Structure 1
């Protein structure tokens, strides 16, 4: 394999101006997010002298973020996603500016920090799913993995640079400057995102009750083996093999060190994650994406188990770095598969569930690790056991969900019953359907009792890598021929070469193309390290382990 096929793939940056704007916004936003997260925690501790207050503030932030994400998923599937992102970011900028003013007062108010945490978490959560749902419309289908890797890279850089920079600024000019810089970053982000085209969801928008709309997303998840498997396999990893809550005890008791040793334990996974993002070029070229994902999560579980069994610090750090590398690979693949197998009209709701899991999952895992360590009387034993349970869970899911094993980013997201293809007008890529969706469920225009999906012949001119998916288009590739039967009215295939990136394909195909083709902190998105502000992985970066949608930005 050539070096160019290993290092991070920057094709989305070269081919899509709109993605370049989003990437630049996310890169600077991650820096600002960590400035505010660290500054808020430092300010609360300085004003109250209580670590409990710091924890409560971050709990409030995390809960409001979780509520915002769930509501934001419904919003992202109803309104123009560009507008949702711009409005929520503008309001959040005002909240952060308020924190800067409060910090500059002679007697800052603690209650205002709590109120700001509620507002910032909730409003940012509203915009997070919209940002994540917009990504597949900004890049070609074959570039989803590369786009996810670039988003993860911004999360890793922000996670490594942001907290240290916040500490330096807080120790010098003060926390007010941290808040002010973050507010300014939001304004710059608004200027960068303003040129984006309108990004409405595909297809007609139904006037559903929000709870009914979210129920539709849950039903899709339950009936789509690939997407359900993506969430379950990550839940298995973060609930059973999340060791961060045990790092202080392991660093001081098991390895006989002090604060510096504990710091190394927290840093090692981030280093591995950053290296994994830099060497992620293979993720967009692998044929058996589902199998690669299963392998990456297995690497995480095995590395965590070996970390728990490590007799010395340096060997433990190697295994933690390996765990971070596997985590980043799994995040990139999960994000790409989630966006590939989810219909555009459900991207917001499904993405919000993914980001919500990225927010809550690690917290549950850390509590579980603490309880198991207390029950066993050994923190290292609890970590090793958690890694082994994770491996068992991955093996069980891989066996029980053949659709997850067969999942691929190569070609249309179609398949047999249970494999998941889009269920709103036929499988992705304009493949024809006979009475049912790719996952065996009904589709628009087909009867609920119809036959299984049928993968039709390739369109004349259809490519094998980066082929047309979900009605989106690869840049420089125009399929020749008519739209496939069974395509929904909201998705079309171009029949001439007039389309440009950023244009949105709407209505039946008569000419022209649409826009070319994760995971906060999608989140969820980034690494499995805890966020500086404690709002879960989704608060750390727009990836799931740093959620790409960046819910707290």
Structure 2
């Protein structure tokens, strides 16, 4: 039975999650962090971040002063290039085997089913066991699966579509369980005041990988070497697992006893019950699903690279990297994002930018203009993602964070996969331009509708997070 969401969570009674009962006072009167595993033991102090200028636009790196977050950050950094090489290699391999953009979209649906199932279940598991252990097990599982992807690429004929789909589904399942736990531990490591900056750092370094990975994969694909692209992914995943292994235990608040599957399944239902009472949090998912379903462009990249932009050098790599080029530039200048108060309004505006840019991409006659439009779209998506993730992590109580992040992962990763299916099917039937322009227009119109229909989301402010009432309004 869930608690009344209107009542403040005990951990929020003194200003935010993980603060009450988690500090001790030094002789000088300063609060010292207390070890969350051994409440009577004061943890190693973390340097207090220097006060940042209110006019600073550069990215805030203060969360990296926390040793636990540093391990999490570098673990993410090491995996991003390899994972993005795999994300490029899979659709390229499918198109090479089938010559059909629709089947490229179907491949995304193959990965969507385990993503939904294990994303929701993984979020509940992350709220019921040590999150460090969960990240370690799923990280190793992902590394093994990536190694198997490399082996299947060596099969005669360039691989086997059905085997490829099975392995893609397995990778999706491991990732879906890993990422809710990874996101849920951020507030515990950096405190609620550091969440926005930590998210901006993580998303920025992710964009570095999304730029370097596709460009490197494009070069390897040009040389006919899909095998090595998958191998790089497997190696980087193993390195990340070693970094995670050095973290302290990270159990969620209130967890006692071993994990039971029945309790985890009930936890999924409890998470949706909680979400139904939080319309603003619910809308953070809805607006992203709209943007990704109607305007995600990746399924048409192989067709464009071999058609409209066939005469351009490394068209594969530049198209797959385009969105992240803009996201990276926005991330490097994201100091202002962590200071945004009217988060709901800025999220809607950022998604409008995304939709308009996708319209431009669909009409672009040259590769450089297409990449420019994708970069603008990526900048808008970066702002939206940082703010939506921060809203979710700080507004949900600790024992719900895994489940909320499970839903977040399903939406963030599932939306583009549904978008791939829509774009691939429409591109096959009516052409790439129609698929992209129509999707971008629908996205812009939908954000206007959301602003009018759900004013509580439009007017949501970061300064209201301490109270449940603004979220329920």
Residue 134 (str. 1) matches residue 185 (str. 2): yes
Residue 27 (str. 1) matches residue 77 (str. 2): yes
Q: Does the C-alpha gap of structure 1 residues 96 and 202 become closer, same or farther in structure 2, counting only changes over 3 Å?
A: same
Unpaired runs of 5+ in structure 2? 1-51
Equivalence for 2:198: 147
Q: Identify the structure with the greater helix proportion.
A: 2
- Deviations 1:357-385 (CA, angstroms, capped at 9, x unpaired): 2222123234434666688x575455344
1:162 to 209, 213, 216: 213
Distance in 1 (CA, whole Å) between partners of 2:213 and 2:54 is 30
Equivalence for 2:310: 258
Unpaired runs of 5+ in structure 1? 421-438, 441-553
- Asked if structure 1 preserves the Cα contact closer than 8 Å seen for 2:176 and 2:409, the reply is no
2:139 to 80, 89, 96: 89
Equivalence for 1:186: 237
Equivalence for 2:121: 71
- Deviations 1:456-501 (CA, angstroms, capped at 9, x unpaired): xxxxxxxxxxxxxxxxxxxxxxxxxxxxxxxxxxxxxxxxxxxxxx
Residue 351 (str. 1) matches residue 402 (str. 2): no
- Asked if structure 1 preserves the Cα contact closer than 8 Å seen for 2:108 and 2:417, the reply is no
For residue 334 of structure 1, report the CA deviation from its aligned partner. Answer: 0.8
- Deviations 1:191-233 (CA, angstroms, capped at 9, x unpaired): 2112222211112569654443212111221210221110111
- Deviations 1:135-155 (CA, angstroms, capped at 9, x unpaired): 121112122221111111122
Equivalence for 2:348: 294
For residue 84 of structure 1, report the CA deviation from its aligned partner. Answer: 0.6
Residue 122 (str. 1) matches residue 176 (str. 2): no
Q: Does the C-alpha gap of structure 1 residues 89 and 315 become closer, same or farther in structure 2, counting only changes over 3 Å?
A: closer
Residue 391 (str. 1) matches residue 444 (str. 2): yes
- Asked if structure 2 preserves the Cα contact closer than 8 Å seen for 1:250 and 1:380, the reply is no
Deviates more, 1:104-113 or 1:55-64: 104-113
Distance in 2 (CA, whole Å) between partners of 1:92 and 1:251 is 29
Distance in 2 (CA, whole Å) between partners of 1:103 and 1:148 is 35
Equivalence for 2:454: 401
Deviates more, 1:293-302 or 1:167-176: 167-176
Q: Does the C-alpha gap of structure 1 residues 380 and 118 become closer, same or farther in structure 2, counting only changes over 3 Å?
A: closer
Alignment map for 1:390-539 (pairs within 5 Å): 390-410=443-463, 412-416=465-469, 419-420=470-471, 439=472
- Deviations 1:494-544 (CA, angstroms, capped at 9, x unpaired): xxxxxxxxxxxxxxxxxxxxxxxxxxxxxxxxxxxxxxxxxxxxxxxxxxx
**TM-score, length-scaled by structure 2:** 0.75
1:215 to 260, 269, 272: 269
Equivalence for 1:360: 414
* Structure 2 counterpart SS, 1:5: coil
- Deviations 1:297-353 (CA, angstroms, capped at 9, x unpaired): 222223334555668776555443222211111111111111111121111111111
The two structures, once aligned, show a CA RMSD in angstroms of: 3.7
Q: Does the C-alpha gap of structure 1 residues 176 and 236 become closer, same or farther in structure 2, counting only changes over 3 Å?
A: closer
- Asked if structure 1 preserves the Cα contact closer than 8 Å seen for 2:351 and 2:447, the reply is yes
- Deviations 1:144-171 (CA, angstroms, capped at 9, x unpaired): 2211111111221111112333455577
- Deviations 1:4-28 (CA, angstroms, capped at 9, x unpaired): 72121111113x1111110100001
Tell me which of the two structures has the higher relative contact order, counting C-alpha pairs closer than 8 angstroms and 6 or more residues apart: 2
* Structure 1 counterpart SS, 2:312: helix
Deviates more, 1:167-176 or 1:232-241: 167-176
Distance in 2 (CA, whole Å) between partners of 1:197 and 1:359 is 28
2:375 to 301, 309, 321: 321
Distance in 1 (CA, whole Å) between partners of 2:369 and 2:224 is 40
Distance in 2 (CA, whole Å) between partners of 1:251 and 1:113 is 22
Distance in 2 (CA, whole Å) between partners of 1:228 and 1:241 is 20
Distance in 2 (CA, whole Å) between partners of 1:105 and 1:372 is 32
Distance in 2 (CA, whole Å) between partners of 1:371 and 1:98 is 29
- Asked if structure 1 preserves the Cα contact closer than 8 Å seen for 2:187 and 2:195, the reply is yes
Distance in 2 (CA, whole Å) between partners of 1:75 and 1:248 is 37
Distance in 2 (CA, whole Å) between partners of 1:189 and 1:242 is 29
Deviates more, 1:324-333 or 1:140-149: 140-149
Distance in 1 (CA, whole Å) between partners of 2:297 and 2:174 is 30
- Asked if structure 2 preserves the Cα contact closer than 8 Å seen for 1:143 and 1:284, the reply is no
Distance in 1 (CA, whole Å) between partners of 2:179 and 2:143 is 15
- Asked if structure 2 preserves the Cα contact closer than 8 Å seen for 1:217 and 1:350, the reply is yes
- Asked if structure 1 preserves the Cα contact closer than 8 Å seen for 2:120 and 2:407, the reply is yes
Deviates more, 1:133-142 or 1:261-270: 261-270
Distance in 2 (CA, whole Å) between partners of 1:60 and 1:293 is 30
Distance in 1 (CA, whole Å) between partners of 2:269 and 2:454 is 23
1:18 to 59, 62, 68: 68
